[in-house]
Structure 1
Amino acid sequence: MPNETGDDRRGRKPAEDDGRRQFLTRMSVDVIKAVKQAALEDDTTAWRIMEEAAKEWLDRRRKSRKRS
Protein backbone atom coordinates (compact mmCIF):
# COMPACT_ATOMS: atom_id res chain seq x y z
CA MET A 1 0.00 0.00 0.00
CA PRO A 2 1.44 3.42 -0.93
CA ASN A 3 2.31 5.79 1.89
CA GLU A 4 1.43 9.50 2.10
CA THR A 5 3.90 10.36 -0.65
CA GLY A 6 2.67 7.60 -2.96
CA ASP A 7 5.79 5.54 -2.34
CA ASP A 8 5.02 1.87 -1.64
CA ARG A 9 8.59 0.91 -0.66
CA ARG A 10 8.35 0.06 3.02
CA GLY A 11 11.15 0.60 5.48
CA ARG A 12 12.95 3.16 3.36
CA LYS A 13 14.08 6.46 4.77
CA PRO A 14 12.63 9.47 2.99
CA ALA A 15 15.04 11.23 0.64
CA GLU A 16 16.99 14.13 2.08
CA ASP A 17 15.92 17.49 0.77
CA ASP A 18 19.45 18.46 -0.33
CA GLY A 19 19.26 16.73 -3.72
CA ARG A 20 21.48 13.81 -2.73
CA ARG A 21 20.62 10.14 -3.05
CA GLN A 22 22.25 7.03 -1.69
CA PHE A 23 24.72 5.28 -4.03
CA LEU A 24 26.05 1.85 -3.16
CA THR A 25 29.46 0.77 -4.41
CA ARG A 26 32.22 -1.67 -3.50
CA MET A 27 35.75 -0.76 -2.40
CA SER A 28 38.62 -2.57 -0.77
CA VAL A 29 38.57 -2.71 3.01
CA ASP A 30 41.85 -0.78 3.19
CA VAL A 31 40.43 2.13 1.18
CA ILE A 32 37.24 2.22 3.26
CA LYS A 33 39.23 2.27 6.50
CA ALA A 34 41.52 5.03 5.21
CA VAL A 35 38.59 7.19 4.09
CA LYS A 36 36.83 6.76 7.43
CA GLN A 37 40.01 7.60 9.34
CA ALA A 38 40.59 10.68 7.18
CA ALA A 39 37.01 11.78 7.83
CA LEU A 40 37.57 11.51 11.58
CA GLU A 41 40.85 13.43 11.38
CA ASP A 42 39.32 16.17 9.21
CA ASP A 43 36.06 16.38 11.18
CA THR A 44 33.93 15.56 8.14
CA THR A 45 32.04 12.56 6.78
CA ALA A 46 33.18 9.73 4.56
CA TRP A 47 30.45 10.50 2.04
CA ARG A 48 31.66 14.11 1.72
CA ILE A 49 35.21 12.89 1.03
CA MET A 50 33.96 10.41 -1.57
CA GLU A 51 31.69 13.01 -3.21
CA GLU A 52 34.58 15.47 -3.47
CA ALA A 53 36.86 12.78 -4.90
CA ALA A 54 34.24 11.79 -7.47
CA LYS A 55 33.69 15.42 -8.53
CA GLU A 56 37.44 15.98 -8.92
CA TRP A 57 37.81 12.78 -10.94
CA LEU A 58 34.89 13.72 -13.21
CA ASP A 59 36.37 17.19 -13.73
CA ARG A 60 39.78 15.74 -14.68
CA ARG A 61 38.07 13.24 -17.00
CA ARG A 62 36.01 15.98 -18.67
CA LYS A 63 39.11 18.15 -19.20
CA SER A 64 41.16 15.26 -20.65
CA ARG A 65 38.36 14.40 -23.09
CA LYS A 66 38.22 18.01 -24.32
CA ARG A 67 41.92 17.82 -25.25
CA SER A 68 41.43 14.62 -27.26
Structure 2
Amino acid sequence: MSMLKVIEVLAESDQSFEDAARVAVANASKTVRNIKSIYIKEMNATVDGDKIVKYRVNAKISFALD
Protein backbone atom coordinates (compact mmCIF):
# COMPACT_ATOMS: atom_id res chain seq x y z
CA MET A 1 0.00 0.00 0.00
CA SER A 2 1.43 3.40 -0.93
CA MET A 3 1.30 6.36 1.40
CA LEU A 4 0.26 9.78 0.03
CA LYS A 5 0.97 13.23 1.40
CA VAL A 6 -0.94 16.42 0.57
CA ILE A 7 0.44 19.95 0.39
CA GLU A 8 -1.50 23.15 -0.21
CA VAL A 9 -0.10 25.67 -2.70
CA LEU A 10 -1.07 29.00 -4.20
CA ALA A 11 -0.33 29.82 -7.84
CA GLU A 12 -1.24 32.50 -10.35
CA SER A 13 -1.23 33.08 -14.08
CA ASP A 14 -1.95 35.90 -16.52
CA GLN A 15 -3.63 33.41 -18.90
CA SER A 16 -6.31 31.27 -17.19
CA PHE A 17 -7.27 29.19 -14.16
CA GLU A 18 -6.11 26.10 -16.05
CA ASP A 19 -2.70 27.68 -16.60
CA ALA A 20 -2.51 28.64 -12.91
CA ALA A 21 -3.08 24.95 -12.06
CA ARG A 22 -0.26 24.01 -14.45
CA VAL A 23 1.99 26.56 -12.75
CA ALA A 24 1.15 25.05 -9.35
CA VAL A 25 2.15 21.55 -10.49
CA ALA A 26 5.27 22.78 -12.32
CA ASN A 27 6.52 24.72 -9.31
CA ALA A 28 5.71 21.94 -6.83
CA SER A 29 7.50 19.38 -9.01
CA LYS A 30 10.76 21.31 -8.55
CA THR A 31 10.97 20.05 -4.97
CA VAL A 32 8.39 17.22 -4.76
CA ARG A 33 8.57 13.87 -6.55
CA ASN A 34 5.79 11.42 -7.44
CA ILE A 35 2.95 13.95 -7.82
CA LYS A 36 -0.29 12.03 -8.34
CA SER A 37 -3.10 14.61 -8.40
CA ILE A 38 -4.17 18.21 -7.95
CA TYR A 39 -7.42 19.36 -6.35
CA ILE A 40 -8.44 22.96 -6.95
CA LYS A 41 -9.81 24.14 -3.63
CA GLU A 42 -10.52 27.75 -4.57
CA MET A 43 -10.26 30.06 -7.57
CA ASN A 44 -10.17 33.85 -7.62
CA ALA A 45 -9.10 36.59 -9.96
CA THR A 46 -7.76 40.13 -9.83
CA VAL A 47 -9.60 42.66 -11.98
CA ASP A 48 -8.24 45.94 -13.35
CA GLY A 49 -10.91 48.13 -14.92
CA ASP A 50 -13.13 45.67 -16.77
CA LYS A 51 -10.51 42.97 -17.43
CA ILE A 52 -9.17 40.04 -15.45
CA VAL A 53 -5.42 40.51 -15.05
CA LYS A 54 -4.49 37.61 -12.74
CA TYR A 55 -6.03 34.17 -12.27
CA ARG A 56 -5.25 32.52 -8.94
CA VAL A 57 -5.80 29.03 -7.56
CA ASN A 58 -5.50 27.57 -4.10
CA ALA A 59 -4.73 23.91 -4.76
CA LYS A 60 -4.00 20.71 -2.89
CA ILE A 61 -1.34 18.54 -4.50
CA SER A 62 -0.97 14.92 -3.47
CA PHE A 63 2.16 12.85 -3.96
CA ALA A 64 3.37 9.38 -3.09
CA LEU A 65 5.99 8.97 -0.40
CA ASP A 66 9.07 6.86 -1.13
TM-score for both structures, normalised by structure 1: 0.27
User: Which of 1 and 2 has higher RCO (CA within 8 Å, sep 6+)?
Assistant: 2
* Structure with higher strand content: 2
TM-score for both structures, normalised by structure 2: 0.28
* Structure with higher helix content: 1
Task: Flag the structure with larger Rg.
Answer: 1
